């Protein structure tokens, strides 16, 4: 009698899941409008609902639009099998790490600016540059992550799928 053994993969390192979680959480939150009322609820919870300072408003905005969605997506990746099933490659992790750096850097800069009484958002030329780099890095990271996962988990071991995909990639 023949027994099939499934290869047991080690769980993904926590840093890898964190790199994936922040852009995914921010993207899903932005696309679904997930926590639109969380900012107001946090202002009320902290007792800042009457004339909050610029720092308090930006702190609540950062928590409700970045921290909470990022932590929720990290929890989903860590608790479910999805985090172990994903097959990130170097391109995906590098691009998502760049997106993480831009998101965290912008959040830290805007909080610093709000705390010192400055304007807590980027001016036009800088916002355009950062926006383009952030969009491209997050897009490349997500597409590369999905493509790598599909290849590693669904296509790589199937000869018929390799023939079909090979036919799509041949020169005409």
- pLDDT tens column, 60-101: 888 888 999 999 999 999 999 888 889 999 999 999 999 999
pTM as predicted: 0.82
How far from 33 is each of 28, 65, 66, 69, 103, CA to CA, in Å? 8, 10, 13, 11, 18
Domain count across the chain: 1
The pLDDT of residue 5 is: 46
For residue 31, the enclosing domain spans 14-169
Cα–Cα distance, 38 to 58 (Å, whole number): 13
Report yes or no on 3 lying in a domain: no
**pLDDT digit string, tens, across residues 135-148:** 999 999 999 999 88
Report yes or no on 83 lying in a domain: yes
């Amino acid at each position: 009698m023949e027994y099939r053994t499934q290869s047991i993969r080690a769980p993904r390192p926590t840093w890898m899941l964190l790199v994936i979680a922040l852009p995914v959480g921010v993207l899903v939150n932005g696309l679904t409008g997930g926590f639109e009322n969380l900012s107001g609820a946090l202002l009320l919870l902290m007792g800042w609902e009457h004339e909050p300072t610029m720092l308090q408003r930006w702190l609540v905005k950062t928590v409700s639009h970045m921290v909470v969605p990022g932590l929720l997506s990290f929890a989903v990746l860590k608790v479910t099998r999805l985090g172990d099933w994903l097959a990130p490659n170097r391109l995906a992790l590098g691009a998502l790490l760049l997106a993480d750096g831009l998101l965290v850097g912008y959040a830290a800069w805007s909080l610093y600016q709000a705390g010192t009484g400055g304007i807590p958002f980027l001016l036009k030329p800088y916002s355009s540059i950062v926006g383009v780099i952030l969009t491209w890095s997050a897009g490349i990271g997500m597409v590369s992550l999905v493509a790598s996962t599909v290849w590693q988990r669904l296509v790589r071991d199937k000869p018929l799928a390799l023939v079909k995909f090979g036919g799509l990639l041949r020169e005409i």
